[in-house]
């Protein structure tokens, strides 16, 4: 199984949408309630690219199996060196190293853009994602209790940070 990484192309939108919508419906990885439309997802991806932030995809045999991206953490000017990232992998392919390749590449791209820090916001129930980020040097810097409500329960957000320099 050879995994290739490359920049997002418009024709990748449907595959990304499928991954996102699966997570909206079946996990607390996204705090959205409603699935996204093709046009909504395409607009989200294009906005990131228009702001000079990367969107990358992982491909096996010409099939998109995961993606990663980052964008501004907050909208005040002083935050311009801090980004929040997302990495998602097709649910049937977890544990195959796809997420590891995507996050490694995002970190390298952020360093090339002379960014200072990356933030991960992870649902506290997703301990495997917390441990995954720890392997890359991310540290837990805070937990916001009951910051989201989904699937008839309150959810806690774990904030993790990696200093890039």
Topology given in CATH for the domain delimited by 4-163: Aminopeptidase (3.40.630)
Rounded CA separation 129/136 (Å): 11
Beta bridge partners of 87: 68
The mean predicted confidence, pLDDT, of the chain is 97
Q: Residue 144's pLDDT is what? A: 98
Structure tokens at 66: 């995961």
Q: Residue 18's pLDDT is what? A: 98
The pLDDT tens digits for 77-133 are: 999 999 999 999 999 999 999 999 999 999 999 999 999 999 999 999 999 999 999
Question: So where are the chain's domains?
Answer: 4-163
Which residue, 44, 93, 87, is CA-closest to 67? 87
Q: Residue 81's pLDDT is what? A: 97
Q: Residue 1's pLDDT is what? A: 78
Element holding 55 (H helix, E strand): strand 55-60
The pLDDT tens digits for 126-155 are: 999 999 999 999 999 999 999 999 999 999
Q: Residue 164's pLDDT is what? A: 97
The pLDDT tens digits for 62-74 are: 999 999 999 999 9
- 23-43 b/e with 16+ CB inside 10 Å = b? bbeeebbbeeeeebeeeebbe
């Amino acid at each position: 199984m050879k995994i290739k990484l490359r920049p997002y192309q418009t024709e990748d939108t449907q595959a990304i949408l499928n991954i996102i919508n699966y997570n909206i419906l079946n996990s607390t990885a996204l705090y959205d309630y409603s699935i996204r439309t093709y046009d909504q997802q395409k607009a989200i991806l294009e906005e990131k690219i228009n702001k000079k932030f990367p969107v990358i995809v992982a491909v096996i045999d010409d099939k998109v199996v995961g993606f990663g991206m980052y964008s501004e953490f907050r909208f005040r000017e002083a935050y311009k060196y801090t980004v929040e990232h997302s990495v998602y992998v097709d649910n049937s392919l977890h544990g195959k190293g796809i997420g590891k390749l995507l996050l490694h590449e995002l970190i390298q791209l952020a360093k090339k853009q002379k960014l200072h820090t990356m933030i991960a916001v992870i649902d506290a129930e997703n301990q495997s994602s917390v441990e995954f980020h720890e392997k890359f040097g991310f540290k837990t810097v805070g937990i916001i209790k009951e910051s989201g409500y989904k699937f008839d329960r309150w959810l806690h957000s774990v904030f993790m940070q990696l200093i890039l320099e």
